[in-house]
């Protein structure tokens, strides 16, 4: 009778443990984590997708992974044609800051150009596919001139300003040579920052970077020959390399950021916009997505 009670108690305890560990694994999966074990040394995978505009969510997640002692390395998966200057610089700085505490490896998808490459250059190691579109180390500022159109329809814009450069880029008139020279100086300064940061991140001479920093795009294979990429390989190769750099033995456990809780309306809206962006990118082929008018962009 006593043996039966002990056996029953042990069975109940085992059942409880199975339920607890199963629940932990399931909730980890729902949060975006791997369906495998959630304990032990991990490699975290963080995605940067689309046009780079808001850096804060990614910065916060990098900080979370940096503070997590069980996360031994971070892989940043980049799928981006570029974006704003400031958010790209902020992410470059945060990737570098994380790299001081644990290995950071970048995996490039189909495209990781301009601002996407800016961020990648801060990592200890960069993996790209042979056909990845990358490079495009350059800055662009675009304005639209509607002067002829407005004249045809009889529309005229009156401007009152506090300084001669306050309405630079006004779409209702031609840009003056002085304004163009002023904007060129600004763009050249941002471009120099780009070159300097890439050289620092890649441990190259600025002159080496400047030779290829004329806005050209490269395949992953070409980028490797130029020293802009370390290895050719996919996401799994990057994860294995990160695990090796971190000293993890055997198959690394992979974790992802917690998925943001969204309403049905948010989900449907995001699905529609993502589909639209995919269609635009497919239509444009190898062309990079255009920047917003009047705003400096790394694209």
Active-site annotation, residues: 114, 166
Beta strands in the chain (DSSP E): 42-49, 71-80, 83-84, 104-113, 125-128, 133-135, 217-219, 231-232, 253-255, 297-298
Q: Please state, in angstroms and as integers, the Cα–Cα distance from residue 131 to each residue in 101, 102, 121, following that order.
A: 31, 29, 18
* Torsion (CA) 253, 102, 234, 31 in degrees, nearest 10: 50
Length of the chain: 299
Structure tokens at 13: 């305890």
| Alpha-carbon gap, residue 24 to 163, rounded angstroms | 62
Do the Cβ atoms of 35 and 25 come closer than 8 Å?
Answer: yes
Q: Nearest-CA neighbor of 127 among 280, 48, 26, 237?
A: 237
Do the Cβ atoms of 148 and 299 come closer than 8 Å?
Answer: no
Q: How many helices (H) and strands (E) does the chain have?
A: 10, 10
| Alpha-carbon gap, residue 28 to 168, rounded angstroms | 51
**Sequential DSSP letters for 48-66:** EESSB---HHHHHHHHHHH
Name the DSSP class of 286.
T
| Alpha-carbon gap, residue 147 to 172, rounded angstroms | 5
Checking 163-170 for CB contacts under 8 A at 24+ apart, the result is 169/143, 169/294
């Amino acid at each position: 009778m006593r043996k039966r009670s002990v056996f029953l108690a042990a069975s109940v305890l085992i059942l409880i443990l199975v339920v607890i560990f199963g629940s932990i694994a399931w909730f980890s999966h729902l949060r975006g984590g791997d369906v495998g074990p959630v304990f032990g040394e991990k490699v975290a995978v963080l995605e940067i997708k689309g046009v780079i505009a808001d850096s804060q969510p990614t910065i916060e997640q990098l900080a979370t992974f940096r503070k997590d002692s069980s996360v031994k390395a971070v892989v940043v998966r980049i799928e981006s044609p570029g974006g704003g200057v400031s958010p790209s610089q902020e992410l470059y700085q945060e990737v570098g800051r994380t790299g001081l505490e644990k290995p950071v490896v970048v995996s490039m998808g189909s495209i990781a150009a301009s601002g996407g490459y800016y961020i990648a250059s801060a990592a200890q190691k960069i993996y790209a596919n042979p056909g990845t579109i990358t490079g495009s180390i350059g800055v662009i500022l675009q304005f639209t001139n509607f002067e002829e159109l407005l004249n045809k329809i009889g529309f005229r814009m009156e401007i009152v300003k506090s300084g001669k450069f306050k309405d630079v880029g006004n779409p209702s008139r031609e840009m003056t040579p002085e304004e163009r020279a002023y904007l060129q100086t600004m763009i050249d300064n941002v471009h120099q920052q780009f070159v300097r940061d890439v050289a620092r991140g890649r441990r190259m001479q600025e002159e080496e970077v400047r030779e290829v920093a004329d806005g050209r795009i490269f395949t992953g294979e070409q980028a490797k020959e130029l020293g802009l990429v370390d290895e050719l390989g996919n996401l799994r190769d990057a994860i294995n390399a990160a695990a090796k750099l971190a000293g993890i033995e055997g198959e690394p456990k992979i974790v992802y950021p917690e998925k943001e809780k969204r309403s049905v309306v948010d989900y449907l809206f995001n699905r529609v916009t993502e589909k639209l962006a995919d269609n635009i990118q497919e239509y444009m082929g190898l062309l990079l997505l255009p920047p917003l008018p009047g705003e400096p962009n790394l694209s």
